[in-house]
Amino acid sequence: MTDAIPMTEGKGLATSPGSLAGLKVIDLTRVLGGPYCTMILSDHGAEVIKIEPPQGDETRGWGPPFHEADASYFIGVNRNKKALALDLSKPEGRAVLLRLLEGADVLVENYKPGSMEKWGIGYADVLSKRFPGLIHCRVSGFGGDGPLGALPGYDAVIQAMVGLMSINGDDTTGPLRMGTPIVDLATGLYSTIAILMALNERTRSGKGQFLDMSLHDCGMALLHPQAANYFLNGKRPKALGNPHPNISPYSKFATKTCEIFVACGNEPAWRKFCEFLQLQHLVADPRFATNALRVENRAALNALLDERLASEDGHALCDRMLRAGLPAGPVLFVDEAMAAPHTAHRGMVAELDWFRGLGTPIKMSRTPGGARSVPPRFNEHGTDILAAHGFSEAEIAELEAAGVVVTAQR
């Protein structure tokens, strides 16, 4: 069911079938964590059949901006997929799903834990027996068990509950939500890793398994080095703003033309940094003799660096520093980052027909992935998907007439 696309027209496009070619994924997810996971799989050749409820993936409406009726939020994480709208609250809809699962390798869903069981299609009692090789990945807020098991969770709520907000911002802001939905994205990434691990294990055992992925666990897994610091010293981590809690200098500084970020991760880099800026006397300053002392005396060191850097052209300085082997970069806005020459060279903006989106960061030498088709409209491929799974024209018409297959978003 993979459509051929003109591989020479556009940017950031897949130029091979992909490392996951032949993998069949049934995608019952909405919003971000699950769809981000399945887009990664589809970028690398997996056939992803996205099954939406009658009302559609709610992110189709999370705009503006929109392309026709679909919001950028949906467009950004749903390329390369085939779309079918199915009412799983009806027994006939669940029967269609079971038929689509024949020959499938992976099922990804983010219904409230217990929903699949309530519908009589839970993994333990039904799916594992009917499809023993199936990998069933469930994405939920808190997992299916424990004190918060099966309760609803959204990215920002989880950021608050796992401590991520408490380490973002500074004394003036208080706990601050991270501007990107980092928990949803991380859950998508961890879910992808889990699926690939399960597929690898299946090559030995021949068996599928159930993956219980939660925003709570994946968000908490991002607390490094703050959790490691806490486990060792017992002190509550503080929000420091731009400075690193364990390294100095590792922060943002103002220059004449822009703000820059400097990262000195070891003693040779610190000495080279001081020499580059003609601040060799700081190396001999007892306040800054070690990284631990530089962290302790961070305010004094930052004041000296602020003074030194204030007259520099930040863009030119960072270029010189990078080429000298010193990690530093200008603080760019999103539009500037998208237009940067290195972004284009690395294929990190994908373009196909009307679609523009972030490219895949996974670069493979023999089986490169990338954009293959534009994000689908609601139920765009419904008839084709069902026909490919053996449904006759009469059966498809009957399913549409009964509202099992939904042709217009409700």
Distance CA 347, CA 297 (A): 41
Enclosing H/E stretch for 77: none
Catalytic-role residue among 184, 285, 335, 353? 184
Residue 409 near residue 56 (C-beta atoms within 8 A) = yes
Task: Give the list of residues 6+ apart from residue 362 with CB closer than 8 angstroms, or none.
Answer: 40, 43, 44, 369
Query: What Rg do the C-alpha atoms of the chain give, in angstroms?
Result: 25
184 carries an active-site annotation: yes
Tokens 């949803």, residue located: 184
Enclosing H/E stretch for 118: helix 115-118
Tokens 């364990």, residue located: 246
CB-count exposure of residue 32 (10 Å: 0-12, 13-18, 19+): buried
Distance CA 188, CA 150 (A): 18
Residue 27 near residue 48 (C-beta atoms within 8 A) = yes
Neighbours of 312 (CB within 10 A): 19
List residues with catalytic annotation. Answer: 184
